[in-house]
Amino acid sequence: MVVLRTVHIGLGVFWVGSFLFMTFILSPRLKQLGPAVQGPVMGAPVPITIPTFITAALLVIGSGAWMALKLRWGVLDTFLTSAWGLRCLSGRR
């Protein structure tokens, strides 16, 4: 369980942090420098970053689902029969 949590939290921080860095810091600064700089700088890491982000996202989602199922596998039926579970399924809060 420690490995799943480490993967989930570590890659989640990487995934979100990288996205925020690229969106709010790198991209605006490169736009200020113009297309002559923006194209090569953004084009160079794309072949590496896209597969890395996809892999990180899949591992974060997969490890989270695995932990949720591992922790609650024996009581999944109560989720569907409890008032809280029925509210979640119907979309009400």
What ranges do the domains of the chain cover?
2-90
pLDDT of residue 10: 97
Q: Please state, in angstroms and rounded to a whole number, the distance separating the CA atoms of residues 59 and 13.
A: 12
Q: State pTM to two decimals.
A: 0.69
Q: pLDDT truncated to tens, each residue of the chain (93 aa)?
A: 899 999 999 999 999 999 999 999 999 999 999 999 999 998 898 899 999 999 999 999 999 989 888 877 767 667 667 776 666 666 665
Say how many C-beta atoms besides its own lie within 10 A of residue 92's C-beta. 7
CA-to-CA dists, residue 75 to 14, 25, 86, angstroms: 32, 45, 14
Q: Spell out a b/e string for 52-69, using b for 16 or more CB atoms within 10 Å of the CB, else e.
A: eeeebeebbeebbeeeee
* Amino acid, single-letter form, for residue 51: P
Q: Rounded distance, CA 93 to CA 83, Å?
A: 11
Provide the pLDDT for residue 81.
Answer: 72
The pLDDT of residue 80 is 65
